[in-house]
A and B are shown apart, each in its own frame.
Chain A
């Protein structure tokens, strides 16, 4: 079974600064998908960014980018130019390529605070 570990329960960043959230995972599979989801307080969870393991290039979505290190099984999220609206719980998630449903294994989450 796959496991996902987020070792930072809480992080804090000043507005306009950059922050990196860590995620490691354990799997014996060679092909899989990785995701970062954001869950703002009292609001629904939304996808931030995704990465296909077969792609060497790191995914980017505007201010959000990942550092995917397949050999190290590491998948960190970098948020540049942090905004107050980035304050949320961030979950790293793993999806196997086997099976036809997009079942996700989540990490325990990192709560990000953004300060002025």
Chain B
């Protein structure tokens, strides 16, 4: 019973060629998150949506954009990928509001930039 689905699992793109990663969820959660995780490092939050409200982290490069057309789907767009953007990209969801709500993670998309 997949709850947070990410496609594709592996993505290869060329330096400077725009790429889109997708995430969908069956949990009907208010909040969706995108993380970047480089090898053997902690996930780094790029941004999150609370319903339709977009929240960017202060240090997220402008090269990264996101769209959430509806509750179930969220996309990560990398406008001009550089070699430093090669990483695992994790999507996660959670309920909104106060409380110790856990985040549910997808399996990730591993991005390679050539």
Question: A residues bordering B, Cβ < 8 Å?
Answer: 33, 35, 43-47, 50, 52, 91, 95, 97, 100-104, 106-109, 111
Q: Is the CB of A44 within 8 A of B105?
A: yes
New A-B pairs, 13, CB < 8 Å, besides A108-B41, A109-B41: A44-B105, A44-B106, A45-B105, A100-B97, A100-B98, A101-B48, A101-B94, A102-B94, A102-B102, A106-B42, A107-B42, A108-B42, A109-B42
Instruction: Specify the chain B residue showing the minimal Cβ separation from A98.
Output: B98
Total interface residues in chain B, CB < 8 Å: 26
Q: Is the CB of A97 within 8 A of B42?
A: no
Contact of B96 among A50, A97, A101 (CB under 8 A): A101
Q: Do A100 and B42 contact each other (CB < 8 Å), given the known contacts A44-B106, A44-B107, A47-B102?
A: no
CA distance A45 to B100 in the complex (A): 17
User: Considering the complex of A and B, which 5 residue pairs feature the smallest CB-CB distances, nearest first?
Assistant: A106-B42, A45-B105, A33-B100, A102-B94, A47-B102
Residues of A within 8 A of B50 (CB): 100-101
**Interface residue ranges of B42-82 to A (CB < 8 Å):** 42-43, 45, 48, 50, 55
Between A and B, 22 residue pairs with Cβ closer than 8 Å are A44-B4, A44-B105, A44-B106, A44-B107, A45-B90, A45-B92, A45-B105, A47-B102, A52-B100, A91-B42, A100-B50, A101-B55, A101-B94, A102-B31, A102-B94, A102-B96, A102-B102, A103-B48, A106-B43, A108-B41, A109-B40, A111-B40
CA distance A36 to B93 in the complex (A): 17
Give min CB distance, B109 to chain A, whole Å.
12
Give min CB distance, A72 to chain B, whole Å.
21
CA distance A57 to B50 in the complex (A): 32
Residues of B within 8 A of A101 (CB): 31, 33, 48, 50, 55, 94, 96
Contact of B105 among A46, A50, A108 (CB under 8 A): A46
CA distance A106 to B31 in the complex (A): 18
Question: Which of A100, A101, A106, A107 lies at the interface centre, i.e. has the most chain B CB atoms within 10 A of its CB?
Answer: A101
Instruction: Specify the chain B residue showing the minimal Cβ separation from A104.
Output: B103
